[in-house]
Amino acid sequence: MIDFTDRVVVVTGAGRGLGRLYALELARRGASVVVNDLGGSMGGDGADSSIADLVVDEITAAGGVAVASHDSVDSPAGGEAIIATAVERFGRLDAVISNAGIFNSIAFEDISADDWRRMLRVHLDGGFYLSQPAYRIMAKQGYGRFVFVSSSGGMFGQPLEAHYAAAKAGLVGLSNVIAIEGAAHGIASNTVLPFGFSRMVTDTVGDPEAVEKTGFLQAIRPELVVPMVVYLASRDCELTHQNYSACAGRFARVFIGLGHGWLAEADDLPTADDIAANLARVAATDPFTVPGSIFEEVFGVCDRLGIA
């Protein structure tokens, strides 16, 4: 059994939905959990400290260990305070699950600058504000695990969600760099693209009762996402720099691949007409590689050109 005894884990957005389930399962496996939740609405309005407190009560009633945090991730001070809660209360920090988020649906042409910034401030800025102070602590202790909750909406697209998709895709880039820089310090970082029945899905499907009759909501019950997140947060996990989808009991790696492409001769100056003439090779997806960094892509091209 994957054990979290003597491990300290921060879970943001842990008051309801998937975040609550992550916190409960981690505590059941022995973790001391910082249950962070501002207690706002799905759209990001308001605050209710009881939301996090109730999850803490649930954990302690079952014999677990937890402390509530009511700070928002959307400011540097909030991120620092959440991480400080873990260290001050439990003396260390082993894993951070960056799950806090908001959600609303707006057509692209109707998204205001405020809508855009608000979404990025919570998801993407919040991921940074939370992970940077955590990273510094993990680097000193020589160990840490980051799990960023991204979304298939960001990787593959979702109508009416340009602001949400951009923020969630940005977390993939953040996680990639933390994984690269953190490797020397024993820090692993990965993302999860969850699909589970929650307030977010309720806002998307329109008529939950009609959908429930098809068995869809039972198939995407949120408990089916939890195993992937818990595994990636554990010491047993040595994976890093990866993305994983968790949907209806199917767990799969999600990756961005790079096709072999068409390579112009070293002394040529290719034109747009050359791109058109070689478009089939430019657009081909087979064979492909999955570069571990931007350098691997550049060095691969240099190797084909005979440049050391």
Tokens coding 26: 């981690």
The 8-class DSSP code of residue 148 comes to: E
**105, 203 Cβ separation under 8 angstroms:** yes
- Considering only CA atoms, which of 173, 7, 34, 163 is closest in space to residue 97? 34
Kindly report the length of the chain.
308
Query: For residue 87, how far is the Cα from the chain centroid?
Result: 22
Residue 209 CB contacts under 8 Å (≥ 6 apart), including other chains = none
Asked if 244 is an active-site residue, the reply is no
* Catalytic site residue from 22, 164, 231, 244: 164
Tokens coding 147: 């799990």
How would you classify the pairing of strands 288-289 and 242-247?
unpaired
Question: CA gyration radius for the chain?
Answer: 21
- How many Cβ atoms are within 10 Å of 280's Cβ, its own excluded? 8
Q: Please give the positions annotated as active site.
A: 164
